[in-house]
Chain A
């Protein structure tokens, strides 16, 4: 683990974050009105979000398959993939709760973080509360494990 390799690895992570954020901006998914337009099936429906997801999946599905055939990623010894497989109540209730918040505000974690740069007060309030929710989960359910 010399410093040069480490620097390259972190630079690549930064580039990935930058590309991801740029994708959210270009696709307008950072705009809550646009997201609500997709979720509101009974309104003037906007399929944009579905096309963003479908296009992203058209890239990740084949490439993930190829990458995961390798023994290891470029800069790390191993892949760090989620290892849980159980379809439990935590997963479902968490997803229900997340969906309620997403539907109320039109914001999910990625777009909310990217939108911080605009200093829009709605996004600032949402992100502060979101961090609060994550901390609450940590102190209630994770720190004792």
Chain B
């Protein structure tokens, strides 16, 4: 467990929890990223405005972080472009079919004690852990 970063995890978790709390309290919305993003429609409609504002906040957050902390973002991946395309398609299609992702089911849904969110979170956690086991340990590094 030498990579464990408990302080960062707690600070980040607090910020995420407060963000989801603020959105529900002020706007009555669930902070589910896949749902907010995929609900944006063309041609432009009124419901797009809040969705776009939330996404804009997400996109600008790392710029604020880099300016304030003077640090770079660390993003390391081993996945090939082909694998990234397959993974992206699965995440995009799967989060719509399953009505949510880590944020909507894992943080907001569980906080509402939604049975669907408990089941979805257990399922995607299990599926992801199994996928990593199969690709990293049985089939070798992809």
Q: Which residues of A contact B (CB under 8 A)?
A: 9-34, 36-37, 39-49, 51-61, 63-64, 67-68, 72-76, 78-82, 84-87, 90-110, 112-118, 120, 122-123, 125-138, 141-142
Bound complex: CA of A47 vs CA of B1, how far in Å?
Answer: 7
Smallest CB–CB gap between A104 and chain B, Å?
4
CB neighbours (8 Å) of B38 from chain A are 134, 137-138
Bound complex: CA of A68 vs CA of B111, how far in Å?
Answer: 11
Contact A113 B90 (CB under 8 A): no
Contact A102 B97 (CB under 8 A): no
Contact A91 B99 (CB under 8 A): yes
Q: Within B80-123, which residues are at the interface with A (CB < 8 Å)?
A: 81, 83-103, 105-112, 114-116, 119-121, 123
Contact A10 B50 (CB under 8 A): yes
CB neighbours (8 Å) of A64 from chain B are 21, 24, 108, 111-112
CB neighbours (8 Å) of A55 from chain B are 9-10, 12-14, 16-17
Q: Top 3 A-B pairs ranked by shortest CB distance?
A: A17-B57, A133-B92, A27-B12
Bound complex: CA of A42 vs CA of B129, how far in Å?
Answer: 9
Contact B101 A53 (CB under 8 A): no
Interface of A is mostly: helix
Q: Contact mask B42-78 → A, CB, 8 Å, 1/0? A: 0000000110011111111111110000000111111
Partner of A107, one of B17, B30, B87, B112: B87
- Most B CB within 10 A of own CB, among A12, A18, A40, A141: A18
What residue of chain B has the Cβ atom nearest to residue A117's Cβ?
Answer: B62
Bound complex: CA of A90 vs CA of B116, how far in Å?
Answer: 11
- Apart from A30-B75, A95-B123, list 8 A-B contacts with CB within 8 A: A52-B12, A56-B17, A64-B108, A82-B30, A85-B114, A87-B115, A103-B131, A129-B84
Contact A129 B85 (CB under 8 A): yes
CB neighbours (8 Å) of B136 from chain A are 36, 40, 42-43
CB neighbours (8 Å) of A58 from chain B are 13, 17
Contact B92 A22 (CB under 8 A): no
Contact B81 A13 (CB under 8 A): no
What residue of chain B has the Cβ atom nearest to residue A128's Cβ?
Answer: B88
Bound complex: CA of A112 vs CA of B85, how far in Å?
Answer: 13
CB neighbours (8 Å) of B106 from chain A are 53
